[in-house]
Structure 1
Amino acid sequence: MASSPPKPKRLRRSQSYGQLRPPHGELLVDEILTRLPIAAAVRFRAVCREWNASLTSDHFIRAHRVRAAAARHPELLFFAPGAAGGRTTSTSFYACSLRDGEAPPAARELLTVADISAYYAVLSPTPCGGLTLIFDARASEYYLFNLSTGNHIKLPPCQPAAALEPMPTLPYIGFDDPTSYLPEPLWTPLELSTTGLGFDTATGKHKVVRLFKKRNGEDSCEVYTPLGPPGRWRPCFGRVPPCAASFVPALPPVFVNGYLYWLLQPARPGEDPIHRILSFSMAAEQFGFVYVPPRLSSVMCHLGNLDGLLCAVYHKRLFAGIYGLFTWSGTSSPSPSWSVRCSINLLRLPLQVRDELEVERFIVPLCSAGGKILLATGRHKVFAYDAERNTVERVFRMQDFVDVPRGNLQARLLLNVGLHDERIADVHRGAGGERRLQVKLGRRDSTVVKREASVEHHDDATY
């Protein structure tokens, strides 16, 4: 008697994680599926319901993230005006690996987004849990993106903010170094708001926090949770302190270990001194301050996230020619304090490197790689500082990979270069946001090779 063919095995539920898992699940998930590129893992969810459940399980997401982090070097993210379909309002995003802080030979295209102009796009240099918040300053719209998969939502409309016209008077940093936070010319009208993306570890949810000035002059703060009530921004729990009025418009805060941090503009001559760093707890939704020694407070010009620590940047370019980084030990330290991470004397650098750095308005730390600190600039470059050898070299320039129009040689606000975190992080459309943009994913083998050295243009109007 002929035996009937064996029935196909079904995916079974794991006792430890409470999620559907493949047969011999740990072998299939941990040794095979976790090696898939992000986009492929997302596509494989469509195979069947069981595969979708397994590839969206907490076990798979954790295992994929751990394997990817162990095998990956830091990756740069950069964006420039796209050329797809001749659309001048499109923006293309690229990523390239910086192995041991060395110059990358090629970059791969992640995706091209229609209807967002690179000229008006504002991004934080550091992603948050695989997600990136994009602010379209021209339309005053926010988008939450996974730049690895193209998955995104458009955030619901928020409260109108006051507009600043004409351009603000640029503040002075320190006694000998007039450094502007905002490059000129900037778009007008300029909305008086600043928005950042953070993650609440207590709830396992991202939050978008917007600090803004109402049209009646009142300072306010609202929060949007992608997995919260549909279509709703809500007021934050805490009271907004009066000094929050000194935030820098459009400049996003820095997220570090459960907190958002804003660098506030310094008090003008004759005004009472203010706290320079405003903090916001993602869990408690309460504002606070970070103590900064007066001498450092007077020369700070930017904040950054350097290897998981809050980093203050100072740049005394006029006389001393010193660029330096201080890192803060953080709220988890018994006695939080600031310490010097590095100090670079620009006057002692080779002439070519010194000339390039001296014209930069923004120099922001990204991360460390191969014992070097990577510094991104507003002119779409990345320099590597080697503390042991006390040397600085340029390892990346966006113009070596893609065409950059003369009008985009200087980022309008902060940077067009940051870090890329390729991980599975879903953006759910059922939580008040909706997918509105046309996104074209780059092919896995779609790379742009570094070009031969080209002539560098300097537009004095953008200094």
Structure 2
Amino acid sequence: MEAKLTTSYGNIPFIPLHVIEEILLRLDVQILFQCAFICRDWNALITSSDFISHSSKRTFDSRNQILLIRESAETRGSSSLSLSSRLSCCQPTYSLHWDNDQFDLLRTIKNPPVDDFKGTRLIGVSNGLVCLATKKPPKFILWNPTVRKYVWFPFMMTWDEAILSAEGFGFDCSSNDFKIVSLLYRRTDPFRFIIEVDSAWIFSYVSWSWKRLTIPSSWFAYRAEPPVFFNGVLYWRAYHEEEGSDDYDFILTFNLTHEVFGRILFPSDARLMGKISVVTTGDSLLLIQETYEWHFDESDEETDEDEQVSNQFTIWITKGIDNHESWMNIFSITSEMDPDHILGARKNGDLILYMDGGQILRFNPTTPTNLLVGAIEKSVSFRYHNESLYLLEKGEGVHSY
């Protein structure tokens, strides 16, 4: 590429390309994407791997993070229909929201290729890319909603019906590489749920290839719960079947830079009872335990009308990642709410709760609970999302829409 940009506008002076680059790096990602079509030199610059990496770092450092909320099933004006009819007419929707108390809409992602994404599940969101996967045998999609591009690629191994999988997705800042981790387990008894570790694989965005890894044979991730990605590490809730061990449940970690698995024990108190969730605020990793207490009116023993249930949230934050002593108890709060599960947490400490009725609530012990969005059962995924230009530099196999 030439060091200067030429122009046909008479006496307008040449502008060195490095000056143009510094100007472009200060622009919004959406505007940058439009600038890529202005001229050939700008296109070559903006779609280069180095520029995309630098642009992504500036966006991340600015902390201008927004929320990505994926509704995999939503109805509009069809409340009178049966649930099966409502689900049949649903369309996946994707929208970006500001991270404020009102979750103000930034924009709706228009015309996503829903036919191509049909039947997929969300694996993760990181540095501008959304990772989706089909069911058996898995095929993966990397999708950048900002630049309206996506790419399919298969899982490079022989698959059979006895294989079960758990996946995670994140961005390795040290190598500017997106990585997908797939943990494979094999059902060894068709009549009982007995499984063993089969293998672990990692996909590299830079090399565009898979390679096999080693995972301890007794460590099993809970496949129904997607991992949390935080500071270059994936965190799964997991269990192991080592004989004579009291630490049945733990957190399985995978460091994307060093590509090694590790284990973090739960706090001693958290291993006693209750439902445990691992979430990230974007700045911290939190461990949340939910325990329930039933209260009865002893004056009326024949009815349960005066029965009340209180839900206690106990929250820990990590001081390190060595063992159960690395957790520090922040606070415990009691509420009458009974969420189905915790979708995530905001940077200010708000918990985003999914309720049994389909409501999404923002809960903070110091402020009232606010309704965020209504949805059909288990349809919303809550993720932080930084826009980027990734996939613009990839050529073959990348689809536009």
Change (3 A) 1:327 1:243: farther
- Indicate whether 1:219 and 2:186 are aligned: no
Equivalent-residue separation in structure 1 for 2:52 and 2:174 (angstroms) = 21
C-alpha offsets along residues 289-347 of structure 1, whole Å, 9 cap, x if unaligned?
Answer: 1132232134452221223322222111354521232221234x999711234433113
Equivalent-residue separation in structure 2 for 1:378 and 1:154 (angstroms) = 34
- Indicate whether 1:44 and 2:35 are aligned: yes
- Indicate whether 1:94 and 2:60 are aligned: no
Equivalent-residue separation in structure 2 for 1:266 and 1:42 (angstroms) = 47
Equivalent-residue separation in structure 1 for 2:315 and 2:151 (angstroms) = 35
Q: How far is the alpha carbon of 1:149 from its aligned partner?
A: 2.5
- CA contact 1:322–1:344 (8 Å) conserved in 2: yes
2:383 to 416, 419, 424: 419
Map 1:381-420; keep pairs closer than 5 Å.
381-387=359-365, 389=366, 391-399=367-375, 409-411=376-378, 416-420=380-384
- Indicate whether 1:198 and 2:163 are aligned: no
Higher strand share: 2
Change (3 A) 1:266 1:392: farther
Equivalent-residue separation in structure 1 for 2:169 and 2:56 (angstroms) = 23
* Cross-structure match for 2:181: 209
* Cross-structure match for 1:113: 113
SS of alignment partner, residue 115 of structure 2: coil
Q: How far is the alpha carbon of 1:78 from its aligned partner?
A: 2.6
Q: How far is the alpha carbon of 1:426 from its aligned partner?
A: 0.8
1:327 to 305, 313, 317: 317
SS of alignment partner, residue 233 of structure 1: strand
Equivalent-residue separation in structure 2 for 1:43 and 1:225 (angstroms) = 28
* Cross-structure match for 1:453: none
Supply the AA of the counterpart residue of 2:211: R
Report the count of equivalent residues.
358
* Cross-structure match for 2:145: 147
- Indicate whether 1:302 and 2:277 are aligned: yes
* Cross-structure match for 1:12: 16
* Cross-structure match for 1:187: none
SS of alignment partner, residue 419 of structure 1: strand
Supply the AA of the counterpart residue of 2:96: A
Which segment is superposed worse, 210-219 or 418-427?
A: 210-219
- CA contact 1:80–1:91 (8 Å) conserved in 2: yes
Equivalent-residue separation in structure 1 for 2:160 and 2:286 (angstroms) = 30
Equivalent-residue separation in structure 1 for 2:169 and 2:55 (angstroms) = 24
Identity %: 17
Change (3 A) 1:141 1:60: closer
| Greater RCO structure (CA 8 Å; 6+ sep) | 1
Which segment is superposed worse, 89-98 or 254-263?
A: 89-98
* Cross-structure match for 1:282: 256
Change (3 A) 1:54 1:139: same
Equivalent-residue separation in structure 1 for 2:239 and 2:63 (angstroms) = 41
- Indicate whether 1:29 and 2:24 are aligned: yes
SS of alignment partner, residue 391 of structure 2: coil
* Cross-structure match for 1:175: none
Equivalent-residue separation in structure 1 for 2:371 and 2:75 (angstroms) = 25
- CA contact 2:237–2:250 (8 Å) conserved in 1: yes
Change (3 A) 1:338 1:115: same
Q: How far is the alpha carbon of 1:240 from its aligned partner?
A: 0.8
* Cross-structure match for 1:434: 397
SS of alignment partner, residue 34 of structure 2: helix
Q: How far is the alpha carbon of 1:161 from its aligned partner?
A: 5.1
Map 1:448-463; keep pairs closer than 5 Å.
none
Gaps of at least 5 residues in structure 1 are 15-20, 165-190, 348-353, 400-408, 440-463
Change (3 A) 1:196 1:30: closer
Equivalent-residue separation in structure 2 for 1:223 and 1:257 (angstroms) = 18
Supply the AA of the counterpart residue of 2:34: R
Q: How far is the alpha carbon of 1:116 from its aligned partner?
A: 5.0
- CA contact 2:218–2:242 (8 Å) conserved in 1: no
Change (3 A) 1:83 1:293: closer
Supply the AA of the counterpart residue of 1:427: L
SS of alignment partner, residue 223 of structure 2: coil
Supply the AA of the counterpart residue of 1:109: T
Supply the AA of the counterpart residue of 1:322: Q
- CA contact 1:192–1:250 (8 Å) conserved in 2: no
* Cross-structure match for 1:131: 129
TM-score in terms of structure 2 length: 0.74
Change (3 A) 1:274 1:64: closer
Supply the AA of the counterpart residue of 1:133: C
